[in-house]
Amino acid sequence: MSVLANNNRKVCLRLAMRTIRANRTRSVFLCLSVMLVSLLYMAVFYTADAVYHSYLLQDQLEYGSASHIVFDWLTEHQADRISRHDKVKSTVELHSIGILSDELLEYRTIRMAAADQDYAESVSAVPQEGHMPEKEGEIALDTMTLDSLGIPHRTGTAVRLDWGDNEGNRQTEEFILCGWWDSESVHTESCAWITPAHADKLRDRSGEEESITLGVMLYHPEDLEAQAEEIVKSLGLGDVTYTTNLAYNSARIDTADQRASGYLFTAIFVVAGGFLLIYNIMAVSLEERVSLLSSMKAMGMTPFQAGLFSSLYALLLCIPSVPSGMAAGFVIFYRISGDIVEGLTGIALEQGLVTAFPFLAASLFSVLTAWAGCFFPTCRMNGWMPAKIREFLNREYKGRKKRKRGDLTAWGMAWRMMAVGRRSLIASVCSFLAAALVLGGSYIRYISYDSEYYARETYVSDYSFLDASCAGDYQRYNERAGNLTEETAETIRSCPEVAEYGEFLTHEVDLTADDALRGTVVDFYNETDGYYGNVTRKESMSGQPGWIAGLEKLEATGQYRSVLIGADGLVMDYVLFYEPLDGTFDAEKFASGKYVLSVGAASAEGISSAPAGSSVVIGGRTFTVMAAVEDWGLVPAGRNSRASEFSLNYVLPSHALRELYPGLNIRQIMVNVKDGEARQFEQRISALDRHKGIVTERKTDRIREFQQSAASSVAVEMFTGILLLFISILGFLNVMMTKILSRRKEFALYQSLGMEKRQIRKVVFFEGVIHGAICAAVLPFAGAALWYGMASYYDSPFAYISNNDWAVIYQYSPLPLFITACIIFMVSVTVPQLCLRHTERESVVERMRYRE
Amino acid sequence: MDIIARIENVKKYYGSGESMVRALDGVDLEIEKGRFTMLVGASGSGKTTLLNLLGGQDKPTEGRIFVEGTRIDTLGEEALSVYRRNKIGFIYQNFNLIPMLTVEENILFPLELGNEKPDRGFFDELVGILGLKDRLDALPGELSGGQRQQTAIARALITRPSLVLADEPTGNLDRKSGQNVLGLLKMMNGKYHQTIVMITHDLDIAQMADRIIRIEDGKAEDKGMRGKAGLDGRMHDVGAGK
């Protein structure tokens, strides 16, 4: 006989289809299980993909352009040559004539350029209010620029702008504001759009050539640096400058990958839970499947055909289940992934950002899990001889070798039945363990986020009102903006709901240090600090040349820039957030206006600012330094000038600062509101908004964002844990129901021998309790694993990946495990009783005839 | 007479140590082609084990088994599957039909496994003889015990196997159905010269055979042709058949 005999595959397909139809209930259960598993996979992979792209989008936003490479300072000819390069797919052009040169914009680069819709779209600079300039004299700007310059958000506003042409020659021009857009606070570059005709006119007047910025999209956006170099070299454009998109930077991609991979880790539990559920359902009907296998192998089915039959069975179940599960998962997470991702990264995920990865990964994993769950219960038997399979089927209950003699009790009978159906029980136990670990871990992570701690460390006041010119990360405070007027301050201060009030004023001046102060500061920064290795503190600042220049100016001339901070009321809580580095604070004395607080840093050897007891001359008046306080860095909001990159700052009462420099505007107001009166306060301040030049920050908003971020960071894991628990319960239900329903003949036999229904129910009750106890027994182990595992997790850097992870105080809670245990016992006690009552509807004789 | 199968010093042991069961303990046997051979013996004597070994459903612990000149005890599972499919027709006491396939599909199942086209003429003849013409679309659950066994017989014969092995095929049937089945087997033997090896512990049924082999304590005794049981239930050497 030929070993190479033809093995028919079609018969395996037919058998698989008939098997599915022969037991519709089990097939439906299996389809639902596969669907659930597919839904879970879709959720995990879609969210991981969304997180990955969101972090890259964040990088792209930081970069400020959607283009892969941006070439700068090009001529028309150069731009044209690059556009025609065979690596270049498409380009957008910015024809700029100069840069806004107002020193209030020193942290940002605002290019004055001919309006170009394509380029504007590539850098998210399309007006959202008003329109692009259409007539000569019109200009469109972003809101951050408007706020920095103190220009109201109102079309038709006259705007006077200083700008420098491409050779640096300064010019002034007047425009009419025709539109504006909200730019991201991380953008350090923006555009000031004027009409092309106006741009030509200004360029002709300045006599300078326009410079072209070219945004390039490549066919294959990998290794952008190398491609940019190649383009430049191949075209002989050696002196051309370019930047590459951060979103394609390999280090950034690795970081995004790392952050997304945390979600993929959850997929391991999905694999385990999904496999166990399907395996469990298959294991319950093992005898039937093995009997079929025995018959088929006796007829001459080869091991390959037997394996193919199991595999096709699984694949046929996947056909209706996987697409519907994936569709359900996609629908759910398309809606909520955006919220999750925005909570994590602060970036609104682009709706419509759907890639192939989640679909491919989810379908592959779903099919593999379903296949494994169907294949493995009988896979080892595929190669067995038919006689061995029959031996397995006919195996008798052997029981323990040493048997106790004595009365048989209900408990004893129940205990003996534990030998039957061990596989499916073990599968249930493993499934509950997986669910407990995921759900328990995610719950602990969630409750460990401490919003009170977060609020305590970041916000002293319930409300903070900022002058819009200092609301952004790259905005220099405009002392002349004056959006927080005295009237506004009085309106806020006089609200009856206000419990505490405080103001920040700031003013930059140049001061002269005496020899003592000069020596103190210079010595401090020339010290070697172990924190930085073997370099001095000054050397550690080598990446900030402006700071170095300021220190050296102090050393050489004694002159330095100082930011004078006027502080009153509530804001003193911020000022004195940390204990003074030197001296002690006396509120009454400080209020007299004769004292100042110096701001700096400290080491074991000394401090970096004027010490307590020393004197400082400000505006012709001599003040005594009461204490030196730590530079807390949080407030006031916004940046000071570049000249103050190195500065020695002083805090004095607002009235004292106003006396020295009359007409100073308020930079920031801080308010605490009486308990329970926030709503009324909100009504009173409802008219204060950004378009009036005031930005309102609420501690409650920040806490809510923090809580949202916390929820987002655990959302997928918790959802997975809940679904795994649901899967475990389904599997356990299946075990408990089958245990009773498949033994109706046995129970009928007991009754026929004289056992009362009450006695049978007692046995079944004890069986349920034992099952429940075995499944629940795994929960303390899960609890112990979580106890040690989560503590280790919070000791590792993995716990501190997203922005708010620092605000965590580890809290352990076994609540999910407790709930799981309750559900297990409820199911194990009630379900068998209900099934038993169901079987008792038939008579003893009818049940005795039942073929199991 | 041609020898179709030869068993040489075959032993089959189960378990080990004190609990070892010696199902077969050195059996030497030859099966003649075209003959109806009966295996008789008490319960647990090793009859089913011997049949399983002949049918490639199990492997001996020791010894050699040849069927049509091919040694089968050394074949791998893949090759054994093909052997079972092509060379053996097995009839079980509890029928072992595939519950989700119709009568026709059950009968043709071994051919389908090997992707062979059925001989429709032979199929029609078989089902005609076995009285299954009107039940070809029925599922096993819709058949009586006798009809199920008839289906199993048809399945066993459809591949025109070298050996038909029947393990107490009438054990689960009533007397009339059992007699019907036995008659069919005898007819298959007569009409198609099918070599049949059958197990029974019913001495009356054993009378049908051309040859009786008695299995006792794991060893085989050839009781010659057409045996006759004594009143004590033991088989006696009855010499050549009538």
The predicted pLDDT at position A456 comes to: 79
Per 3-state DSSP, what percentage of chain A is helix, strand, and coil (rounded to 5)? Answer: 55, 20, 25
Which of the four pLDDT bands, split at 50, 70 and 90, describes residue A25? confident
Quick: pLDDT tens for B24-79.
989 999 999 999 999 998 888 889 999 989 998 888 999 999 999 999 999 988 88
Mean of pLDDT values over A682-703: 83
Highest mean pLDDT of the ranges A160-174, A233-247, A314-328, A571-585: A314-328
The dihedral sign for the CA sequence A758, A762, A765, A767: negative
Mean of pLDDT values over A300-305: 89
Look up residue A253 and give its two tokens. Answer: 């991609």
The predicted pLDDT at position A812 comes to: 92
Q: Do A1 and B70 touch (CB under 8 A)?
A: yes
Which of the four pLDDT bands, split at 50, 70 and 90, describes residue A185? low
Which of the four pLDDT bands, split at 50, 70 and 90, describes residue A1? very low
Mean of pLDDT values over A108-125: 90
Collect all residues of chain A within an 8 Å Cβ-Cβ radius of residue B97. Answer: 295
> What is the four-CA torsion angle of A4, A9, A10, A13, rounded to 10 degrees?
160
Residue written as token pair 């092309």: A196
Quick: pLDDT tens for B123-136.
998 899 888 999 99
Residue A275 reports pLDDT greater than 80? yes
The predicted pLDDT at position B114 comes to: 85
Mutate to test the interface with A, among B71, B72, B81 (most CBs of A within 10 A): B81
Mean of pLDDT values over A151-180: 90
Residue written as token pair 């096709």: A312
The residues pairing with B89 across neighbouring beta strands, listed in sequence order, are: B164
The predicted pLDDT at position A552 comes to: 94
Look up residue A465 and give its two tokens. Answer: 């009102």
CB A46 within 8 A of CB A215: no
Alpha-carbon distances of A559 from A553, A618, A627, B242, rounded to whole Å:
6, 13, 22, 136
The predicted pLDDT at position A815 comes to: 94
Q: How far apart are CA A312 and CA A430, in angstroms?
A: 26
Mutate to test the interface with B, among A1, A294, A316 (most CBs of B within 10 A): A1
Residue A55 reports pLDDT greater than 90? no
How do B88-91 and B163-167 pair as beta strands? Answer: parallel
- Complete DSSP assignment for A146-182: HHHHT--S-TT-EEEEEEEETT--EEEEEEEEEEEEP
Q: Do A303 and B81 touch (CB under 8 A)?
A: yes
Q: Do A7 and B84 touch (CB under 8 A)?
A: no
The predicted pLDDT at position A169 comes to: 82
User: How many residue pairs from chains A and B have C-beta atoms closer than 8 A?
Assistant: 101
The predicted pLDDT at position A634 comes to: 55
- The torsion angles phi and psi of A498, rounded to 5 degrees, stand at -75, 125
B214/A contact by beta carbon, under 8 A: no
Which of the four pLDDT bands, split at 50, 70 and 90, describes residue A183? confident
The more confident residue out of A406 and A620 is A620
Per 3-state DSSP, what percentage of chain B is helix, strand, and coil (rounded to 5)? Answer: 35, 25, 40
The predicted pLDDT at position B229 comes to: 39
Q: How far is A385 from chain B (nearest CA, A)?
A: 6
Residue A246 reports pLDDT greater than 90? no
B36/A contact by beta carbon, under 8 A: no
Q: How far apart are CA A303 and CA A310, in angstroms?
A: 11
Q: How far is A319 from chain B (nearest CA, A)?
A: 21
Q: Do A294 and B96 touch (CB under 8 A)?
A: yes
Q: How far apart are CA A84 and CA A78, in angstroms?
A: 10
How do A241-244 and A211-218 pair as beta strands? Answer: unpaired
How do A109-114 and A88-100 pair as beta strands? Answer: antiparallel
Q: Do A11 and B113 touch (CB under 8 A)?
A: yes
- The torsion angles phi and psi of A15, rounded to 5 degrees, stand at -60, -40
How do A170-181 and A138-142 pair as beta strands? Answer: parallel
Q: Do B52 and A302 touch (CB under 8 A)?
A: no
The residues pairing with A406 across neighbouring beta strands, listed in sequence order, are: none
Residue B227 reports pLDDT greater than 60? no
The predicted pLDDT at position B230 comes to: 34
The more confident residue out of A43 and A662 is A662
CA nearest B43: which of B60, B25, B23?
B23
Report the mean per-residue pLDDT for chain A.
85
Mean of pLDDT values over A405-426: 75
Q: How far apart are CA A502 and CA A86, in angstroms?
A: 61
CA triple A442-A448-A454, angle to 5 deg: 135
- What region, left, alpha or beta, does residue B96 occupy, with left being phi > 0 and alpha being psi -120 to 50 degrees? left
Mutate to test the interface with B, among A12, A285, A302, A395 (most CBs of B within 10 A): A302
Residue A460 reports pLDDT greater than 70? yes
In a 3-state reduction of DSSP, which class is residue B75? coil
Mean of pLDDT values over B69-98: 88
Domains in chain B, ordered, with CATH?
33-60+77-225 (3.40.50.300)
Mean of pLDDT values over A673-697: 85
pTM of structure: 0.69
B82/A contact by beta carbon, under 8 A: yes
- Listed by start position, the domains of chain A span 1-58+260-395, 66-244, 425-457+700-852, 484-692
The predicted pLDDT at position B180 comes to: 85
Residue A711 reports pLDDT greater than 90? no
How do B196-199 and B36-40 pair as beta strands? Answer: parallel
Q: What percent of chain A has pLDDT over 70?
A: 92
Q: How far apart are CA A692 and CA A469, in angstroms?
A: 11
Collect all residues of chain A within an 8 Å Cβ-Cβ radius of residue B74. Answer: none
CB A779 within 8 A of CB A817: yes
Q: Note whether ipTM > 0.90 here.
A: no
The predicted pLDDT at position A781 comes to: 93
Q: How far apart are CA B188 and CA B142, in angstroms?
A: 25
Q: How far apart are CA A457 and CA A632, in angstroms?
A: 11
B78/A contact by beta carbon, under 8 A: yes
Q: How far is A23 from chain B (nearest CA, A)?
A: 10
Mean of pLDDT values over A226-247: 86
Residue A201 reports pLDDT greater than 70? yes
Spell out which chain A residues touch chain B, with contact meaning CB-CB distance below 8 angstroms: 1-3, 5-8, 10-11, 15, 18-19, 21-22, 292, 294-305, 383-388
The predicted pLDDT at position B235 comes to: 36
Q: Where are the beta strands (DSSP E) in B33-161?
A: 36-40, 62-67, 70-71, 88-91
| Candidates B70, B113, B116; nearest CB to A299 | B113
Collect all residues of chain B within an 8 Å Cβ-Cβ radius of residue A383. Answer: 77
The predicted pLDDT at position A786 comes to: 93
Q: Where are the beta strands (DSSP E) in A365-515?
A: 463-467, 498-512
| Candidates A3, A299, A302; nearest CB to B110 | A299
CB A837 within 8 A of CB A789: no
The predicted pLDDT at position B228 comes to: 42
Q: How far is A298 from chain B (nearest CA, A)?
A: 7
Q: Do A305 and B86 touch (CB under 8 A)?
A: no
Residue A846 reports pLDDT greater than 90? no
Residue A551 reports pLDDT greater than 90? yes
Q: How far apart are CA A669 and CA A501, in angstroms?
A: 7
Collect all residues of chain A within an 8 Å Cβ-Cβ radius of residue B59. Answer: 385
Quick: pLDDT tens for B161-213.
989 999 998 888 888 888 888 888 888 888 888 899 999 888 888 888 888 99
